[in-house]
Amino acid sequence: MAFGLESDVLLIQKALSSNVHCPERLVEVLRSELRAADVVVAGAQEDRVVIIGDYGPHSLFVSSSSPLGDHPLVSYYRSSIELANPASQASTGRLSVGALAKLATPHMRLIALYHQEQFPLPRFPLGISDIAAAVRKQFIGRVSLQDMQFGLTAAGIIATLDLDRPDIIGISATFGQYDILENLLTRLPAIDGYDPLVVIGGSLSALIADLLVRRFPGLLVGKGRGEQTMKDVMKSGIRSCRSTRLVI
Ligand code: B12
């Protein structure tokens, strides 16, 4: 079969299940294994779709659960997608260049802070996990996560931001984490030629929102549930607010 379609679909399905917690790594694996440039992983953990935009003259679509024709991503982009086999979980087809770009950008990085000295026990980063799932279900842009509990320092976070340059940064701050937040927000403007939209949320941010926007001009502070806020931020097209001070 052209391009070993069956074996490529198997490879994608295997990679989907072994990288279920890390869509970023899944993209890397598929880029290297399939020698493809346009690889997009969309949707939340339980219902992902892999799209290989440059699969020969076509695109290749593989869903982790439902038949592609029933997947909400396909309904959302219905005027931009044509599938050869919508009743299956894998199909070749076509996707417009505009839709592919909309699925891949902007890039939002969500960061959960951690202070071992303040709270040494492990915590599930529920705030950023919920926000990531909600944003991923919107099928606009991509989301990556960083949890400081995996041994990251503030300097390490700044270094990866410098490398990855996400368009939007969301930081979740709770009790006892002001010093790390301050550390990050003070270092961020020192990254040369980088002006992301920075949104802060979580219980501590809500409590000190006014102080934060006075101290760090250009910051957006979300005082409520972050799911809708970050979905709106993704859709809004706002990519920098250096001159604003906003609490929403
Ligand atoms: C469960 C819980 C815990 C669990 C955590 C379990 C886990 N995550 O694995 C445990 C028992 C470990 C815990 C510990 C502590 N907790 Co506690 N905890 C809670 C509780 C009851 C729920 C938090 C939760 O998980 N919510 C569900 C998730 C999905 O929501 P969320 O994290 O709040 O995130 C939402 C929003 O905040 C917002 N958001 C979050 N991040 C971001 C980022 C952006 C960019 C945006 C826009 C929005 C946003 O959107 C999210 C989704 O809707 C809250 C009270 C409450 N009802 O909220 C207290 C609460 C968070 N805890 C509190 C405290 C004080 C503590 C401790 C200091 C207690 C202690 N003395 O040891 C420690 C500190 C932990 C730490 N700093 O690491 C305070 C924090 C006060 C403050 N000013 O920050 C709270 C608010 C209780 C209170 N009213 O006093 N806690």
Distance 174 CA to ligand 1 centre (A): 6
Query: How does pLDDT run across 162-211, given as a tens digit for each residue?
Result: 999 999 999 999 999 999 999 999 999 999 999 999 999 999 999 999 99
204 lines ligand 1 (CB under 6 A): yes
- For the CA of 114, the nearest atom of ligand 1: 78
Question: CB 72: neighbour CB atoms within 10 A?
Answer: 15
Q: Hey, whose CA ends up nearest to atom 54 of ligand 1?
A: 203
End-to-end, the C-alpha distance of the chain in Å comes to 53
Across 79-88, average pLDDT:
96
Across 38-50, average pLDDT:
94
Query: How does pLDDT run across 199-216, given as a tens digit for each residue?
Result: 999 999 999 999 999 999
| Predicted TM-score (pTM) of this structure | 0.94
Distance separating alpha carbons of residues 132 and 129, to the nearest angstrom: 5
Across 128-143, average pLDDT:
96
Distance separating alpha carbons of residues 61 and 95, to the nearest angstrom: 10
Distance separating alpha carbons of residues 95 and 68, to the nearest angstrom: 13
The amino acid present at 117, given as its one-letter code, is E
Domains by residue range for the chain, with CATH = 2-103 (no CATH), 105-247 (3.40.50.280)
Distance separating alpha carbons of residues 203 and 215, to the nearest angstrom: 18
20 lines ligand 1 (CB under 6 A): no
